[in-house]
Amino acid sequence: MIDRYVLDLQEIDETQVAVVGGKGAHLGGLSGIEGVHVPGGFCVTTDAFRRIMAEVPSIDDLLERLSRLNPDDRQEIRTLSAQIRRAIEEIAIPGEPAAAITRALARFGEQAAYAVRSSATAEDLPTASFAGQQDTYLNIVGPTAILQHVSRCWASLFTERAVTYRQRNGIDHRAVHMAVVVQRMVLPHAAGILFTADPVTGNRKVATVDAGFGLGEALVSGLVNPDVFKVRGDEVVAKAIAAKRRAVHALPAGGTQEVAIDSRRQEQPALTDTQVVQLVQLGRRIEAHFGRPQDIEWCLAEDGFRIVQSRPITTLFPIPETGDQENHVYVSVGHQQMMTDPMKPLGLSVWQLTAMAPMHEAGGRLFVDVTRRLASPASRAGLLDIVGRGDPLVRDALETVLDLEDFVRALPDADPGGPPVGGASTSIETDPAIVTELIERSEASVAALERDIRTKSGPELFDFLLEAFDEHKRVLSDPLSMQVIMAGMQATWWLNDKLHEWLGEKNAADTLTLSAPDNITSEMGLALLDVADVIRPHPDVVAFLRGVEDEDFLDELAKLAGGTEARDAIEAYLDRYGMRCVGEIDITRPRWRERPATVVPVILDNVRNFEPGAAGRRFEQGRQKAQQKEQDVLSRLRALPDGDQKADETKRMIDRVRTFIGYREYPKYGIISRYFVYKQALLREAERLVQADVVPEKEDIFYLTFQELRDVVRSHQVDDQLIQQRKEAFRSYQALTPPRVLTSEGEAVNGAYRRDDVPAGALAGLPVSAGSVEGRARVILDMAEADLEAGDILVTAYTDPSWSPLFVGITGLVTEVGGLMTHGAVIAREYGLPAVVGVEQATRLIRDGQRIRVHGTDGYVEILA
């Protein structure tokens, strides 16, 4: 009969997390792998833990108080968690569990030495390792000591660090239970950690072994630096042997102690290369069993390697699934679209169905496979040129991958693997009527979509949407639209290159493009200044808006003096721009029209920081600066040899860039306008599913792909477990940072600036809008929490078009993500804001409130004293 309180490791597999915890389940799974040796032992089940917890006085009240604490309230967490630990340790283990543990010890040897190790049910999970959150005790001898340390392991579920970790990860304290693993102690020559994927680069083909003398505790506790070996295939490809001056050894009577290592041994490797390769082969067997890269604790005794723990590596960025064994190179779509957050499944699938190029999903993000373009020398040069102009870090990352020997196999130029990079030919007349025609076409298409979708529901809606997606792509790929976009971009590049060559001017186009016409995104920011003008004269309205928390505030406005005008101004703004939001390429994100309170802080900043009529003045000042710059540049060119020809050519390019560069922002506006129409129709369908008790909440449909949602609407059946799994996966993806470039081996490559013109201590980035400005850094990660004063410099992770209303109130911009032609850069130039983008970890390295200087011409940021 299976004992409810104790199970031998041989009786356990990885499906029994609820009974034996994550560590116990993994050890049971390891015990069943041929050729993998796990020290013998048993697991005290969660039934024993529940039995003990039932006897702890007032435990329900204590856990309720704990759950209400803020994760940052460290003092209260420390006090309350210590109280719970004491209460658990003071409970004597009752007769049945104690007898079960004693019987198990008799089987394995009562006076043998054991490791007593915590194994929580929320531990070693695919999405959260919980590594180091609970306690382990080594070399425990005798039944009395083992029972005492089992109690301590139970209590360690409530260490301060474990409680805080659960609070921050949204895990209910009552939902987690503790099992305890009791294993025969191994007295090793060496011990350490094996990662079956490189934990730094993410490369799944490279394993990393950390090794030291004695027990692994010396490495885990940071007592010594380990020897580090890197293994690819059956070969050690790199190693660094450390001076290991200390080790942790087991004492004969129990417990452990630090010992000094003989000076002659300190710099000897803890493992031979042959042993390292043998260990990695074991690791590959374990990885294959669990189906994902593993973080493995091992030790080496007289009779070979013993595996004492294996858990998934949760920090690796996932790899797109291809179904082949070929090498692939992927470029992040999010870094181009200024949205590096994870997207929900419906958002991912709708973007894929409406995108112009095939895309691959990994970690809730989208990537484009550029392998074939890199393989052909001709298309490679074009790809590197265009990505390098936009974001030098992406170019550097791709060149880093190309430097990997034989990773990208060369193809002849005759097979470039796709259309030429850079889009359509730019031989186009400089005529504003072309832009007007394109905008009218787009608006007519959106109006037709809004009209025709109203009558569609059920399966018919999904058939209609698939046709709408085809129209979406047709509008997006309009050859004339692509010509206009490329004409504006290439004219910008030409002006910057030629005026630098002829006049020594850096980024001259930044000033020449100020207040360019037809820029829907910059108009959006200026339009919110006009809304502020309507609101400013009405103090009751301003006071009311300062207290807005709910989304139904517009209905209340009309009751105030001036409220009707204020409401009408905000409503008109939302009619024009309400489809926008942060992360807008994900259709599941809440739009301003759905959450109008999002724009209120920006309106209030505009009321406080600007005088009436600011929008018109700002636009006119920019236009005049651009005109003055044009006259200055042309007069200086005419003084040069062949000056008239240079000036005429430059004038043509200035006219071209001012005519076309504003349109660069319009196609995205058209996409997002269509997305809002799609979303409203899908949410109406979701409401019907809620009414039919198919899903509990409308937003549950966001965790289904478009095709899955179509099937649910047709069948009125949904897999609740799938939705729950998708929610958990999405939460885990939020903790991951997507790389700019990712290989099919899992190597995450972010590139580097190869520059020697950045002062020591400054943060390097990409110069995208000229000028220099000094001011207070405002580190803002959520636009709804903006609180800007005149003269502030915005520091954030990324800025898609929805951030542009903030740009009218700042004097400079710093972002972690971006390129020369991404939206934030275009609008910064439009408003004349010095801007540096692509500054790695800017939101961590720059503290909110610090004074900084932004060098928008030279591309770096100084943090000032």
Query: How far, in Å, CA of 275 to CA of 190, rounded?
Result: 11
Where do we find the tokens 């259709």?
587
Query: How far, in Å, CA of 746 to CA of 172, rounded?
Result: 33
Q: How far is CA 736 from CA 233, 335, 732, in A?
A: 27, 14, 7
472 counts as catalytic: no
Where do we find the tokens 């007069």?
635
Kindly state the tokens that stand for 344.
């929900």
| Count of C-beta atoms within a 10 Å radius of residue 764 | 20
Cα-trace Rg, the chain: 31
Please give the helix or strand (H or E) that residue 235 lies within, else none: strand 235-240
- Is 791:811 a contact under the CB 8 Å cutoff? yes
Q: How far is CA 636 from CA 155, 601, 640, in A?
A: 78, 45, 7
| Count of C-beta atoms within a 10 Å radius of residue 168 | 10
Burial code of 511-550, b = ≥16 C-beta within 10 A, e = fewer?
Answer: bbbbbbbbbbbbbbbbbbbbbbbbbbebeebbebbeebee
Could you give the 3-state DSSP secondary structure of residue 813?
A: strand
Q: Residue 490 contacts by C-beta under 8 Å, 6 or more apart in sequence?
A: 426
Helix, strand, coil percentages (3-state) for the chain, rounded to 5, are 50, 15, 35
| Count of C-beta atoms within a 10 Å radius of residue 487 | 25
Query: How far, in Å, CA of 505 to CA of 190, rounded?
Result: 62
- Is 38:308 a contact under the CB 8 Å cutoff? yes
Could you give the 3-state DSSP secondary structure of residue 210?
A: strand
Q: Residue 425 contacts by C-beta under 8 Å, 6 or more apart in sequence?
A: 483
- Partnered with residue 120 across adjacent β-strands are 178
| Count of C-beta atoms within a 10 Å radius of residue 78 | 14
What's the maximum distance between 2 C-alpha atoms anywhere in the chain?
101
- Is 400:751 a contact under the CB 8 Å cutoff? yes
Could you give the 3-state DSSP secondary structure of residue 58?
A: coil
Query: How far, in Å, CA of 658 to CA of 432, rounded?
Result: 9
Where do we find the tokens 């803020």?
70
Query: How far, in Å, CA of 333 to CA of 338, rounded?
Result: 8
| Count of C-beta atoms within a 10 Å radius of residue 559 | 11
Beta strands in 269-345 (DSSP E): 294-301, 304-312, 329-332
Kindly state the tokens that stand for 596.
């109008």
Q: Residue 348 contacts by C-beta under 8 Å, 6 or more apart in sequence?
A: 361, 364, 366, 586, 705
Task: Please give the single-letter amino acid code of residue 289.
Answer: H
**DSSP-assigned letters across all residues of 244-265:** --EEEEE-TTSSEEEEEPPTTT
Q: Is the dihedral of CA 332, 334, 340, 342 positive or negative?
A: negative
Burial environment of residue 681 by CB neighbours within 10 A (0 to 12, 13 to 18, 19 or more): buried
Query: How far, in Å, CA of 37 to CA of 307, rounded?
Result: 6
Query: How far, in Å, CA of 47 to CA of 254, rounded?
Result: 28
Cα angle 444, 446, 452 (rounded to 5 degrees) comes to: 100
Instruction: Kindly name the residue from 335, 472, 823, 855 that is annotated as catalytic.
Output: 823
Q: What residues are annotated to the active site? A: 823
